[in-house]
Every structure is written in structure tokens, then in C-alpha cells.
Amino acid sequence: MAMLAFREALNQAMTEEMERDPNVFLMGEEVAQYQGAYKVSQGMLQKFGEKRVIDTPITEAGFAGLGIGAAMIGLRPIVEMMTWNFAILAFDQLFNNAAKIRYMSGGQFKVPIVVRGPSGAAHALAAQHSQSLEAMLAHVPGLIVVAPSTPADGKGLLKSAVRDDNPVMFMESEMMYGQKGEVPDGEYVLPLGVGDVKRGGKDVTIIAWSKMIHVALAAAEQLKNEGIEAEVVDPRTIHPLDETVILDSVKKTNRCVIVEEAWPFASVGKEIASRIYSQAFDYLDAPIGHVNGADVPMPYAHNLEKLMLPSVPRVIDAVKEVLYR
């Protein structure tokens, strides 16, 4: 298997899908001449030309609407948002048009659009550029929400997203673009809505996604030194959620900690906990633990940013709380 950076795996996925299907095209701010704000589209303008790799003005609502219209007439647009924070300007298009047109038209229109870009905190980007918004997107019926954690998952899920006939919101951690991992050679597609056990264990289930998977795995490695075997579960797709992989793990370990970068109120983690309580309550030996970002806007100062975000020590403390309380 090739060792690829996360950005390279996403580039490979888009390139392969554009080679496979002439209806697929890429549009967004700086995706063409500049080759992507995070260099995810490097080399694609030269390969496919300016009619299929399109630089847009700084108008998120405008080019999101253009992409939705293109999808309605049979094209398969990939719309890159320079950051999901900027996509807030396009939520009217995504919530009221992309998510609802197939339903409101009685299936006469499909909306096969992928909206993708960086999500969550990076380093010192402060309150308006460091938000994890997956709960807002997952709240809306009709939107598929994906949050991959590895280069292989990024490639396999993005290829499936492009082929899906529904709008897919593809959320990439800004901190993972340079992260490397093995990616299977050849055609590699992962189904949407299917989670993955990233590490087996018997004592406690840690559920996380996107870059928080790596915090969870690091915590699990340290816990192993204390004789605690943590199982790490990655939903991969936030909506629809793979309940089976989550419930099977919790039924095995009888304890659970959920780790997410987002704010705690009305979060994805709270929804996962609700489903565990309603469907596997009798298997739990302790209340579910939660490790979230703090319920404050993101500070600019790096030391405060670190305090705001979930960390390995916080995850370890939460695991011990559910094990020994």
C-alpha cells in the first residue's frame, strides 16, 4: 500500500472520480490557480482544465447554489469550502435546497453534490475559524455528514460521497492534511454509514471521530501501560450513524467515553449517548463519560486553545472515572 498524506489521498480520490465520470467537477475558492488553500487540488487544473477545476469568487452562498443547480441537472459537483466556518454563509442553500429538493420534488430531482473542506481547530485561528459544526449539519434531514480520521478512510469515503445521489457534507480536520498513512492501491471505496473499530479492547469503549480519533488512540496506548484495554470506535459517518458498531462495542466493554472537539451542548456525542442509553442501558456499568471542547468561543492564545480542546490527559481521566467510580 502507498504511504500518502491525507491531502494526497483526497486528491487521489477526486482525480480518480473525475477520470471515471466526466460529470464530476471541482469548484471553490483558490482550487485552480493556487491549487487549493491546503493544496488538496494540487495538479488538478493542469490535468483537467479550467472547465472542470473552477476558481470561484468569495461568495459561498453563490457557488453552493450554483453547485446544487448543477447537481439537479445531472452533474456531480465537488464544492470546496476554504473552511467550514465560511460555509455558514451557505447554510441557507445547504439546509433549504440541497437537503430538501429531492424530498420536495418527490424524487424527481437528485442532488449528488459533495461539499468538502477543513473543519475544527488548527493553531491560533481564534473564535471565527476554529469551529466544529458537524452537529448543526447532522441535525438536518437529507444531508449525509462524513468526518474521516485517516488518509485511507478519507479516500474511500470521498469516492463513495462523489458517487452518492444525495448531498454529502465532507468534513476534513485542518490539522490532518499533512498526516500520513497507508492507502490501499487501486480502486478503494468505503461505504457511507459504516463505522470502524480502530483499536480492539475489552475494558472501555472510546468513541471519537476525525482528529479526535488520534487523541483517543494516544490515550488508549497510555492506558495499556496501566493494564486498561480501551476499544476505540470511529463512526466515520456522523449521519447516518452506524449504531451497530457502537452498540456492539459498548455491550462488550460495558463502559463508554465519547470524545469530540465540538462544544458540549446539543452535540453529536450527546446524540450518541442518548442512543446508547435507550438501546444498551442494561449493559452499562457506569454513566457515559464525555470529553468535549469547552463551552466557550475558541481563544486565540495557543496556551488557552490547548486548554479548550480535548487532550490525552482529559481522556485518560474520563476513562478512569467510568472504570473506578
Q: Which cell numbers in the block locate residue 201?
A: 479492547
Q: Is the confidence at residue 325, as pLDDT, over 80?
A: no
Same domain as 172, residue 127: yes
Q: Which cell numbers in the block locate residue 166?
A: 444525495
**DSSP structural state of residue 24:** E
Same domain as 211, residue 165: no
Same domain as 54, residue 177: yes
Overall average pLDDT of the 309-320 stretch: 98
Question: In the prediction, which pLDDT does 137 show?
Answer: 98
User: pLDDT tens digit string along 248-305?
Assistant: 999 999 999 999 999 999 999 999 999 999 999 999 999 999 999 999 999 999 999 9
Same domain as 257, residue 291: yes
Q: Is residue 189 part of a domain?
A: no
Q: Is residue 115 part of a domain?
A: yes
Structural domain harbouring 292:
196-324
- Rounded to the nearest integer, the mean pLDDT of the chain is 97
User: pLDDT tens digit string along 152-168?
Assistant: 999 999 999 999 999 99
Q: Is the confidence at residue 186, as pLDDT, over 90?
A: no
Question: In the prediction, which pLDDT does 172 show?
Answer: 98
User: pLDDT tens digit string along 49-75?
Assistant: 999 999 999 999 999 999 999 999 999
Q: Is residue 56 part of a domain?
A: yes
Closest by CA position to 71, among listed 103, 43, 98: 98
Question: In the prediction, which pLDDT does 243 show?
Answer: 98
Residue 185 — pLDDT band, cuts 50, 70, 90? confident
Overall average pLDDT of the 218-233 stretch: 98
Query: What is the percentage of the chain residues whose pLDDT exceeds 70?
Result: 100
Same domain as 295, residue 228: yes
Same domain as 179, residue 246: no
Extended beta strands in 188-245, E state: 196-199, 204-207, 230-234, 237-239
Same domain as 33, residue 167: yes
Helix (H, G, I), strand (E, B) or coil at 79: strand
Same domain as 282, residue 157: no
Tally of structural domains, the chain = 2
Hey, which residues does 256 pair with through a beta bridge? 205
What is the domain-level CATH number for residue 150?
Answer: 3.40.50.970
Q: Is residue 191 part of a domain?
A: no
Q: Is residue 242 part of a domain?
A: yes
233 CB neighbour count, 10 Å cutoff: 28
Q: Is residue 190 part of a domain?
A: no
Angstrom CA distances, 266 to 61, 72, 138, 269, stand at: 26, 32, 11, 8
Show which of 155, 183, 211 is a domain's final residue: 183
Same domain as 176, residue 201: no
Closest by CA position to 28, among listed 88, 111, 116, 123: 116
The residues annotated as belonging to the active site are 60, 129
